[in-house]
Amino acid sequence: MTAENEYARWLASGALTESERAELEAIRDDPDEVESRFGRGLEFGTAGLRGVMGMGTNRMNIYIVRHATQAFAETILAAGEADKGAAVCHDCRHNSREFAEAAACVFAANGIPVRIFEDMRPTPELSFAVREYGCAGGVNITASHNPKEYNGYKVYGADGAQLGPDTAAEVKRRMDAADLFTDVRTMPFDEAAEKGLVTVMGAETDEAFLQNVCGLILEPEEARKAADRFTLVYTPFHGVGRELVPEALRRLGLKNIVCEPKQMVPDGDFPTVASPNPENPEGFALAADLANEVGADLIIGTDPDSDRVAVMAKDRSGKYAALTGNQAGVLLIDWLIGALRRTGRMPENPVVLKTIVTTEMARAAAERNGVRCLDTFTGFKFMAAKKNNLEAAGEGKVIFSFEESIGYMAGDFVRDKDAVTASLLLAEMAVWYHNRGMTLIDALESLFEKYGYYGERTVNLMMPGLDGPERMARLMSGLRADIPREIAGTAVGEITDYLDGTVTDIASGRTAKSELSGSDVLRYALADGTVILVRPSGTEPKIKVYVLARGESADERGERIEKYGAWAESLAQTGEK
């Protein structure tokens, strides 16, 4: 069906409200906008749906939400798990509550009892609720840290993790087979509640979640010791972390928790930041000003749905410096291993999980301390699956999981990124170092001296336009066809092609099988210890090149990052390997 035909079908459907119909009537004489909105649909994948809000098949709106929920409900019904029910959560964005209630109404109309939070809640609390109440699955309405124009639809399985590829494919198949107007069952929210098909979650679920979070506190005496002299500034970036994160920090024992007042106000417009992404240090401007004013020792910021967290700490000049996700993760690994052993809580056969594009310093920090470090593909659904499989088979106990994009998971009560728990652990770690006269920047320097000078850079090769996917595929196929023996003058020792799981030793030509396969990623291990990975983005028109370097000094590390970063940039312009 053409974009024009689909556009006309929506207008003739009789389903639209007056304002929705007016929105579409306004673009009648704009063929480019009609094509943009109706030329294709939002693609349902393992991360669910995400897109700009508005009317159309290629926009996030209530009809798309109902359509996806109908498909997910049918998947639950087909598995015979309707009685387990589903959980629904949402963030602070425009339309999020409306979309969440729409999802609940579809579940109810399909005979699936639904638990919905009374108001916005952190993403990890949705993962927790699915597990806590034994639900068949869950839905979270959120676009994480995307711009204000976006919203999204994340789908979770019974284990509290985002859907794996097979189940996501089944939901997509059902969506493709159903009409979003005529094949969707729904009912009024009030009627669903009256029939006992809706349960509202509130303070009781918050408390159960917080008790699990605070059960991970390892050395509470350290926080008590520093309570009067340690000051922390917190910002939720206008999002949902504003209540549970400060409460968790208070339960840790901290007294001087100063919240950035403007950013404590939930607001889907995110008015005080250019981007609500804590990975961008410029978003911390207000928090840093406040930290300078109150003499804070640490700044913590969580993204709008509170699944990612970033920190800033004082450097030797007294200025606040941002830690990367890789750096914060390595600090947590090293400290956590020590704290678990000091308190006698280290399990047998401990394991740390990281993604293939996350710093190799994590492996050094874990293995030098007798803890295995295993890789997964990018995405916490893969780390959740690895944790589930390892522990079910008795092959290891996962004590910590993280990825470079400021996502961290600890404990057994969630299966997704958890900024509430990570904020608690980061604060407890910072207090531990504070009691020893060190900031997290000091601590990081000590780890460089101990494990080596690791550093990372990600190069984004943007490929927009209709031919973007073709150019991305051409670059990847070109790299596979022309295997480099050296990169930027350094010999390539080994290449892993994660698409077919082949590991090739360049010198001998021998091949072996990788533990991981089925993802379009190439990994180059160089003779100087540097690792370079090339990976097409699953959500944006770009190829990401990850440079994971190591040097014997900070200068050598910097030189290698610059050298291999330049090689990565050259891939887009010249295709040279």
Catalytic residue positions? 144
Q: Which long-range contacts (CB under 8 A, 24 or more apart) does 473-481 make?
A: 475/543, 475/571, 475/572, 475/575, 476/520, 476/522, 476/534, 476/536, 476/543, 478/575, 478/577, 479/522, 479/534, 479/571, 479/577, 480/522
Question: How far is the CA of 97 from the CAs of 91, 113, 217, 242, in angstroms?
Answer: 8, 18, 33, 17
- Count the Cβ atoms, other than its own, within 10 Å of residue 56: 27
Question: How far is the CA of 539 from the CAs of 43, 154, 474, 520, 543, in angstroms?
Answer: 10, 14, 18, 14, 11
Indicate the DSSP class of residue 324: P
526, 532 Cβ separation under 8 angstroms: yes
Where residue 295 falls (left for φ over 0; alpha for ψ -120 to 50; beta otherwise) is left
- Count the Cβ atoms, other than its own, within 10 Å of residue 317: 7
Q: How far is the C-alpha of 387 from the C-alpha of 369, rounded, in Å?
A: 20
Bridge partners, 375 (sequence order):
354
Backbone angles phi, psi at 129, to 5 degrees: -60, -40
- Which residue in 144, 168, 173 sits closest to 157, CA to CA? 168
Q: How far is the C-alpha of 252 from the C-alpha of 221, rounded, in Å?
A: 9
Q: How far is the C-alpha of 266 from the C-alpha of 269, rounded, in Å?
A: 9
Q: Cα dihedral sign for 133, 135, 137, 140? A: negative
Q: How far is the C-alpha of 354 from the C-alpha of 380, rounded, in Å?
A: 9
In this structure, which amino acid lies at residue 47?
Answer: A
Question: How far is the CA of 148 from the CAs of 43, 239, 270, 535, 547, in angstroms?
Answer: 20, 12, 7, 27, 31
33, 55 Cβ separation under 8 angstroms: no
Indicate the DSSP class of residue 164: P
Q: Is 92 helix (H, G, I), strand (E, B) or coil?
A: coil
330, 365 Cβ separation under 8 angstroms: yes
- Which residue in 156, 188, 144 sits closest to 75, CA to CA? 156
Q: How far is the C-alpha of 552 from the C-alpha of 546, rounded, in Å?
A: 20
Which residue is it, tokens 């979003």?
Answer: 180
Q: Residues 6 or more apart from 114 whose CB is under 8 A from it?
A: 85, 86, 87, 88, 103, 104, 107, 108, 192, 197, 198, 199
